[in-house]
Structure 1
């Protein structure tokens, strides 16, 4: 059964480069494959040759590129090898030295050139092979052990038309149905990502959720993947093969997951990789065993200051999944339970930054429901395509439109003086050692640490916050290291995703205060200049320490000048948070109230107001002239009539 172009990962052709020592039969092999005859007079290098789409069952055309091994043609050879989808390396069956050269020169050279494509080793001139020579399997076994990139070995004869078409069939097959993503040759087992994909497919086909594929479910699977039903005798035969080799692969309900995986390992071991690849591609997987890009396209039109949030439908699905995998019903997902939940995804998406440790966990490393939903909110904000992919991997059957909704523009929120978002994104600025990381850690309930290392990269924290007026909102805090602020602000749209900016300073250190306020002015100026003004709050950290002299006076004066709230004092060490997270969200919900004004911004507004006033004066003056002119015309007309 032929697959579509999309199901082959968008591949519309396969490019095969033929290389090897001089006079090993490269050109004769190519001409013989294309014409099905042996060429009497073959050129030294054959022009690019195309085998049409209907030449092989997969209906994907093959372009064959001949090469010369002469030193003067080396540049061309290297270039062609680096553009290849597969390499056919030839040796002459009647010249063992050319086979030795594959091991000592050609294969190491391809590695040196970083050519990472399947290799087909082909012994040409089989008709000249002497009977006393070792068999192909005996010769190639140690070479294939050393060079895992060798996909297949085959001997052929262009003169006698023996196994010539098979050479390029195996080359095409190695590209369209590669072994490497599926099977580990050393351990002779399915690779983890392949197991995860097949497990997801098994669960999707297990309609009654009894942990086994019944005869009817097996038949539905066969029809979906191969457009042909299984005969009852075939189903019996399949289960018998599995039961003989692996008794736990079949139970009273049908074929178990263990048996399903065993079958695919058996297909691959017997060279039937196209069977497993057909199954994977029918369920949307690409050659990296991830869902194809065309299945994950987000067709939402968004301005830079709009974001995506999970819909109520997606959130309810995630809640059901959470409770389904909370095996011990302790209200949290322990690491093993979370691994089980994501066991049908290519890998756990939260095992590394920025998601690792971004949400609240208990002492046993368990993720609460709110922490679980916070991680999804964070992934949806930062990488909505990954969020959609992982929703699908764990069983979500809806499309992107049912999973996400686009928020209103932040610019519109400011004009309407209210934001209705469920997820708020907060950028946290401040000088080194001001307490930024400690503030982020406290959002997720991590205990105070006396010696926090300064962040060298952007850190994230996310959690659900109970609001004083009732309801819950998700707060995502992103720490901006002090030495990355300049880079961030070099992008005119950098503040567009930000709902609120928080500036943290060490209340005992006057220089920390000055640096924090300088940062605030930089951010406020950037927002004014680019139309992405953001509400700002200042957090006075380390309130358990003695404040520097004049701190109250400086804070009051600066806040009044900028038109924002006075700094919020907190002491994470003493557990005195002063409702800082609720206050951050409240300020983000009323984005018009906490936007600072710089001197430049005030001056710009004054100029704009003067300009508007001038237009009013000009308009009034013009109207007066018009009225006067109209009155004069009336007067002149009356005078002429009376005269």
Structure 2
């Protein structure tokens, strides 16, 4: 496998603007002279205190990526401008004067901590200027001086000393800076452990699998040659292929098998390239397969930003679901109908990480008694990803092998407003917001939905990122995915502060503890708040009331009060459930049914009734005015005809 030659594909991570390098450091450390010497290829007789942005010649470096160098002032009055430029940088050059040790000390005591403080997270090149002024009687080992600083500040990509006056290593300064942007070390290699970083390994594994056309776990000579042509636009000669495999086999016996170069050997080769300073080889491969500096797929490999109204959602297409079913059974190695944790990790081993190790996905899906993810739980988690973060969902589909056009994996649903008008929703995924006061049983409802055991003691929900997702079977074999999102009581006010708060909600459920009157009253208040918000914004949602803890004795007037309120609002009577006993009164099917008929179960507040009555009166008045005006016009026309006839007869 060769590195990037003259015909290698070039890539510019910063777009048309090119690479922006900002030069900073103490006053009189040679910043401006360094820049001008590089740009003009000669030491300037005089320089400005601060140069304007300077464009280096495009042919100065092999990559031919435009490089703009920005000079800065270290004076206090220009502090704001300095910070602004540093935050816009793709790479930072920090200078010190070789003949002034105090300027070197300032790198670790001020400049490098300052970059961290203002959150500048780009490669740093440390440059010693005015090398010609250093006293030869006091030789200094750059490696010895810089090693402790580089250990402390890992953002330093490299260190170099130069002389603008003698033109010593001036182009190299900016070459290293540009290279640090185009081919950074940090994302690929752990310098301390001297190993490829996990995300780099995962990306290279995916690339290996994509190139292993016959899926035999090795790259044959033909596959290795195809890989070389794809990445570097140049074939490998038979002798070169033999040489590559020999290098690997001498160091790593398992790196080559009788079928060809193994994944272990493929990874070893890239680690070898990086150790030898040939990072551009690995980066060229990664770029060719669509990876950016974070070793994630770049935006041009993903669908464009999704244009949709707030009351539209995103779902997986049938093509994506069929693909996921195949993937599930491919990775169910033991054939037990579930994916155990190691199998899930293996499935995501070609992605930057397992996205389900974090909230809200981690605990959102159904697992079997042994902790394995069932096929329904697996598909439900993907449905949740498509709903909450569709572009990321497609990204991870591609990582695990989805080969179709990325845009064919997801679809945008019809607007909920239109669903209400048509009195039916044909979505496959419904989202239900679960409201209620503290200790009402919201979390218990979510837990029962995905088969978690009833908790022995109350544990308050501390975030608004608590989801449960599962598939609900309907009569006739129809299956819908239901997403329950718990809304903590103290998060309701913040939620309803947004005009579009209920746009993503298909159904709202209000849970109260049927043994406590205060819980019922608070649930009623929340119901009225949500209903009023829906009426005011046009995002009315079907609402259901759930009387939890039905296994305990309810407060005296619970049935009477709750029935009266539901009748006044025009919605279904409260649904009694006991999550402790597992008596759920088909609550999840009833939620889905309410979502499928979004014109029903919509509460109507007194304010809403008054508003509708007022609009009816206005409409009726306008109708009477229109009819009166029409009668007047007809009457006037008739009178004119009558008058004309009288005049003609006389």
Q: CA–CA distance in 1 between the matches of 2:91 and 2:404?
A: 38
**Aligned residue for 1:594?**
601
Q: Secondary structure at the match of 1:350?
A: helix
Distance 1:22 1:435, change over 3 A: closer
**Aligned residue for 2:156?**
150
Q: Quick check: 1:423–1:473 contact (8 Å CA) kept in 2?
A: yes
Q: Quick check: 2:90–2:123 contact (8 Å CA) kept in 1?
A: yes
Q: Quick check: 2:39–2:57 contact (8 Å CA) kept in 1?
A: no
Q: CA–CA distance in 2 between the matches of 1:324 and 1:601?
A: 54
> TM-score, normalized by length of structure 2?
0.92
- In the TM superposition, residue 486 of structure 1 has moved relative to its aligned partner by 1.2
Distance 1:429 1:142, change over 3 A: closer
**Aligned residue for 1:475?**
482
Q: CA–CA distance in 1 between the matches of 2:643 and 2:115?
A: 99
Q: CA–CA distance in 2 between the matches of 1:98 and 1:623?
A: 91
1:392 counterpart = 2:383: no
Counterpart of 2:525 (choices 509, 512, 518) is: 518
Q: Superposed, which structure 2 residues align to 1:121-132 within 5 Å?
A: 121-126=126-131, 130=136
Query: 1:12-35: per-residue Cα shift (whole Å, max 9, x none)?
Result: 232333345566544443332222
Query: 1:126-163: per-residue Cα shift (whole Å, max 9, x none)?
Result: 55663883544454444433432222233334344332
Query: 1:537-595: per-residue Cα shift (whole Å, max 9, x none)?
Result: 11111000111112222122112111111011111111101111001111111111211
Q: CA–CA distance in 2 between the matches of 1:309 and 1:71?
A: 54
1:253 counterpart = 2:267: no
Q: CA–CA distance in 2 between the matches of 1:93 and 1:440?
A: 65
Q: CA–CA distance in 2 between the matches of 1:516 and 1:389?
A: 40
**Aligned residue for 1:319?**
325
Q: Secondary structure at the match of 1:186?
A: coil
The range that moved more, 505-514 or 37-46, is 37-46
Distance 1:34 1:420, change over 3 A: same
**Aligned residue for 1:188?**
194
Distance 1:568 1:171, change over 3 A: same
Q: CA–CA distance in 2 between the matches of 1:526 and 1:104?
A: 55
Q: Secondary structure at the match of 2:358?
A: coil
1:296 counterpart = 2:313: no
Q: Secondary structure at the match of 2:477?
A: coil
Q: CA–CA distance in 2 between the matches of 1:150 and 1:557?
A: 70
Q: CA–CA distance in 1 between the matches of 2:386 and 2:545?
A: 28
Q: CA–CA distance in 1 between the matches of 2:625 and 2:140?
A: 102
The range that moved more, 35-44 or 226-235, is 35-44
Distance 1:142 1:487, change over 3 A: closer
1:265 counterpart = 2:271: yes
Q: CA–CA distance in 2 between the matches of 1:614 and 1:41?
A: 85
Q: CA–CA distance in 1 between the matches of 2:115 and 2:308?
A: 45
Counterpart of 2:289 (choices 271, 283, 286) is: 283
The range that moved more, 140-149 or 318-327, is 140-149
**Aligned residue for 2:39?**
34
Query: 1:421-464: per-residue Cα shift (whole Å, max 9, x none)?
Result: 11111011111111111001111011111313121212110000
**Aligned residue for 1:221?**
227
Distance 1:65 1:10, change over 3 A: closer
- In the TM superposition, residue 384 of structure 1 has moved relative to its aligned partner by 0.8
Q: Quick check: 1:8–1:281 contact (8 Å CA) kept in 2?
A: no
Q: CA–CA distance in 2 between the matches of 1:502 and 1:2?
A: 59
Distance 1:28 1:382, change over 3 A: same
- In the TM superposition, residue 466 of structure 1 has moved relative to its aligned partner by 0.8
**Aligned residue for 1:461?**
468
1:244 counterpart = 2:250: yes
Q: Quick check: 2:9–2:232 contact (8 Å CA) kept in 1?
A: no
Q: Quick check: 1:205–1:217 contact (8 Å CA) kept in 2?
A: yes
Q: Quick check: 2:98–2:130 contact (8 Å CA) kept in 1?
A: yes
The range that moved more, 229-238 or 113-122, is 113-122
Unaligned runs of 5+ in 1: none
Q: Quick check: 2:8–2:231 contact (8 Å CA) kept in 1?
A: no
Q: Quick check: 2:421–2:599 contact (8 Å CA) kept in 1?
A: yes
- In the TM superposition, residue 312 of structure 1 has moved relative to its aligned partner by 0.3
Q: Superposed, which structure 2 residues align to 1:357-368 within 5 Å?
A: 357-368=363-374
Query: 1:171-195: per-residue Cα shift (whole Å, max 9, x none)?
Result: 1111221111111111011111111
Q: CA–CA distance in 2 between the matches of 1:372 and 1:492?
A: 33
**Aligned residue for 1:65?**
70
Q: CA–CA distance in 2 between the matches of 1:510 and 1:569?
A: 15
- In the TM superposition, residue 41 of structure 1 has moved relative to its aligned partner by 4.2
**Aligned residue for 1:274?**
280
Query: 1:218-242: per-residue Cα shift (whole Å, max 9, x none)?
Result: 2222222222222222222111111
**Aligned residue for 1:496?**
503
Give the root-mean-square deviation of aligned CA atoms.
Answer: 2.5
Q: Quick check: 2:8–2:232 contact (8 Å CA) kept in 1?
A: no
Q: CA–CA distance in 2 between the matches of 1:178 and 1:378?
A: 35
1:55 counterpart = 2:65: no
